[in-house]
Structure 1
Amino acid sequence: MLRSKYPLFPILFAAILWGTTGTAHAFAPPSAHPISFGAMRLAFGGTTLLLFVLLQGKLVRGNWSIKHVVLAALSMALYQPFFFSAVSVTGIAVGTVVAIGSAPIVAGIMEWMINRRKPSLNWWVATLIAIVGCFMLFANQNSVVVDPLGILLALGAGLSFASYTIISKELLHTQSPDTVVAVVFTVSALFLAPLLFIFDLSWLFEFEGLAMSLYLGVFATAVAYLLFAKGLVKIPASTAVTLSLAEPLTAALLGVFLVGESLSLLAWGGVGLLFLAIIVLSVTPKNKLTKDASGYYKTS
């Protein structure tokens, strides 16, 4: 049966919002450099989240682990230049597949080593199906460039996202999802602030640039990561990262139905496998569904 209270839905909604970033960037001014665009995204997102928790009076000083806050913020800050640089060096197809495909594996290994929580069998099956689906989906690209530096940068992006998820999970033990995301993203935006003085920001004063920055900051960052954190409270970090593979699925479907792109038969097969991976993670036998001491949903 479907898992009680559907704890994976917030993760899926977050991934859907992340999947709109490529389409949003396509509508931004051509002069918007990807790295400065990513830095501005965190700046708007961090500010939105901070104002959100301040207005609710939820920001409290106690029980914060400075080490975890800094590490989570640094991980998210590093993800932006790693990912965009990887895509620039080795192409969208290889860069995206390596970055997004490596993250679930890294998260599963980290969770196993740090928390001594062995990933479930359905996680392994779903992750394998999803990674194969990603390869098939991006095989639709006309040109594939395998550059060693680009591969390393993409692996760095995968490690950064996995690290952010694992570390955020620790912060959620003592703080609410709202405050965790607000504090982490505010600090992360401060880490990337120097980049805003390096790149040309004239594109931000154009209507399209400001509109897309606000959309990415408020919806594809603030709202999306808030949903991700709320879902992360109830499910293992490795499962959350695997579910985030709905991001390239969303991006591909938007490209077809909104931008007018076309997918090959092989790529449509990849779309089907990504849907199958989500179903595998969503469905478990009734007699094997339990909760552990921390309240995580798992199979026994």
Structure 2
Amino acid sequence: MAATLFGTTGTAQALGPEGTTPLGVGAVRLVVGGMGLMAVLPLVGGLRRDAVRLWRTPAGVAIGVCTALYQVSFFAAVQQAGVAIGTLAAIGSGPVLAALLARFVLGERPGRSWVLATGLCLVGLTLLVTGGGAAQRVDLVGVALAILAGLAYAGYTVLAKGQLSAGQEPSTVMAAAFGLGGLLLLPLLATQPMAWLLEPRGVGMALHLGLVTTTLAYLLFVRGLAQLPAGPVTTLMLAEPVVATTLGIVVLDERLTLISTTGVGLLLLGLVLQGLGAATGKRREEPSQPAPTPAEASNGPAGATT
């Protein structure tokens, strides 16, 4: 569900007003989304003072920096290297980098299902974004920025998983991360043209990107992260380009080549395999109810005596 909401960001930006910039839109999204998470935190079981307290911890600061760094580096990568290459390098590197970080930071070992599913998804993503037939020069600076975005995404996923494992409330972790990330990006807004925010379409786009694709989406994201390892979660997030592509066809009247369509099919297959593998692994981790001892069996219901 989180990935589905993430997948609407590109279409929302395409339907927005003239005069926007990628960095401006990214900063507004994080600022509005961070404020939204802090605002609804008491309604979803968290406390604002706990979120602010996380800002004073090394992990809390690192997560906030990662959220801000992802927004800036991803939109800069897309601007520098183009949508196809930038998206492929950023979103494609995320699951691999997250699994590596989770292995060393959290001790999580990726299973066979993750390897197979992620491999299918990465092949599918490559076909999807490069299957249009148009040649594109690879910009090394743009690719480096995209991989930095993937590393930032992996970083906040793994660090947030560590905070959840330490007993932090899920919504508090996300509110702290995006609240701090939004504060860090406030100065960026002063460097971008923001007249589009005075238009009704601009306000609508900002609210959708901030409240729907950030506040709501990351509340869903962190609930899933609390139940599953970091590696499978980032692989499942690869549903985002599938949703974005579908909306591009239905809403923006875009067209897919046969190669790109094959890529979507491989992505969907990889996501199904990852979902099944993650669910199976979750069931295996659930502790089974211990069988009663003979003495307990003879005592009948709890509290009864023979």
What TM-score, normalized to structure 1? 0.89
1:119 partner SS: coil
Q: Which residue of 1 aligns with 2:182?
A: 189
The question of whether the paired residues in 1 share the 8 Å contact of 2:118 and 2:235 is answered with: yes
Change (3 A) 1:56 1:86: closer
The one-character-per-residue Cα deviations of 1:257-286 (angstroms, maximum 9, x if unpaired) are: 111100001111011001101111122496
Q: Which residue of 2 aligns with 1:235?
A: 228
Give the whole-Å Cα distance in 1 for the aligned partners of 2:177 and 2:101.
20
The one-character-per-residue Cα deviations of 1:67-86 (angstroms, maximum 9, x if unpaired) are: 11111110010001111111
Shift of 1:28: 1.4
1:24 partner SS: helix
1:33 pairs with 2:18: no
Q: Which residue of 2 aligns with 1:121?
A: 112
- Work out which of the two has the higher radius of gyration on C-alpha atoms and give 1 or 2: 2
Give the whole-Å Cα distance in 1 for the aligned partners of 2:45 and 2:218.
20
The question of whether the paired residues in 2 share the 8 Å contact of 1:38 and 1:80 is answered with: yes
Give the whole-Å Cα distance in 1 for the aligned partners of 2:188 and 2:11.
23
Q: Which residue of 2 aligns with 1:9?
A: none
Q: Matched residue pairs, number?
A: 281
Q: 1:40-55 residue pairs with structure 2 within 5 A?
A: 40-54=28-42
- What stretches of structure 1 move > 6 A for 4+ residues in a row? 285-288
1:290 pairs, out of 280, 284, 293, with: 284
Q: 1:173-184 residue pairs with structure 2 within 5 A?
A: 173=165, 174-184=167-177
Q: Which residue of 1 aligns with 2:158?
A: 166
2:284 partner SS: strand
5+ unaligned residues in a row in structure 1: which ranges?
1-12, 294-300
2:260 pairs, out of 255, 267, 289, with: 267
Superposed CA RMSD = 1.9
The question of whether the paired residues in 2 share the 8 Å contact of 1:256 and 1:262 is answered with: yes
Percent identical residues: 39
Shift of 1:21: 0.3
Change (3 A) 1:124 1:287: closer
The question of whether the paired residues in 2 share the 8 Å contact of 1:91 and 1:145 is answered with: no
Shift of 1:53: 1.2
1:73 pairs with 2:64: yes
Change (3 A) 1:61 1:256: same
Q: Which residue identity is paired with 2:101?
A: M
Shift of 1:175: 1.8
